[in-house]
Amino acid sequence: MNPRPTFALALIALALVACGGSEAPVTTAGQPPATSAPPPVPREALEPDTANATIERAAPPTLRPLALGRFEPGNPVAEAMTGVVEIEDGRITGANGASFLTERVAIVRGGDEFAAGQRYADVMMMDAGQPVELRRVIDESRPTTRPDNAFCGRNATGYLALASYIEGDYRLVKLLALEGGGIPAATATDTALCASTFYLAKP
């Protein structure tokens, strides 16, 4: 057997080891080895556990009534349409049998329009900054003896707008009765004025 090929193979193997056949990492003297970043925190750990913790949410604003109580009619229109009126949180009742189950939907201002070009302040003859309570009529009962004296006659009353303030020795309640199913606004297309009247009481 010829020993030369075996000897040559041994030399090649030694040369490969000397040239860096090892896979050990190369580090710079005086510096620590590189480290990997920790894994991200799971999203579940950052969000509240709804099973064990109460989540507080802001309550919707409460619309406070502008006028409550018993009021006398201030003119012949109010006398004919309701007589003495009792204004409650969700109902307005007249002495003549007229009754309105209502839902408070907004507090607007006298300067706002309930239909195109028609402002509450102009019809109710009051300041443009005066608050106006807008109520949707859910159900209506007509006057007992004279049903045609209802605010909107034979048509249904859609909304009632109320404003209240002190004038002299009395608390006034201005009232607008509006016809139409859509909410009164400058862009409303089916809102129409039925009646404008007022009531009063000693403050």
158 occurs within a structural domain:
yes
Name the pLDDT band for 203 (thresholds 50, 70, 90): confident
User: Hey, which residues does 1 pair with through a beta bridge?
Assistant: none
pLDDT at 11 over 50: no
Can you give the length of the chain in residues?
Answer: 203
Q: Residue 63: what pLDDT?
A: 78
The residues facing 109 across adjacent strands are 131
82 is a domain residue: yes
pLDDT at 37 over 60: no
pLDDT top residue among 41 and 77: 77
Does pLDDT of 28 surpass 70? no
Find the domain containing 108 and state its range.
Answer: 69-201
State the maximum Cα–Cα separation within the chain, in Å, rounded to a whole number. 138
User: Total domain count for the chain?
Assistant: 1
Q: Is residue 98 part of a domain?
A: yes
pLDDT tens digits, residue range 149-193? 999 999 999 999 999 999 999 999 999 999 998 999 999 999 999
Which residues in 177-189 are b (16+ Cβ under 10 Å) and which e? bbbbeebbbeebe
Residue 21 lies in a domain: no
More confident residue, 146 or 49: 146
Tell me whether residue 39 is in a domain. Answer: no
Structure-token pair, residue 12: 């090649």
- DSSP secondary structure code for residue 148 in this structure: G
In a domain, 53, yes or no: no
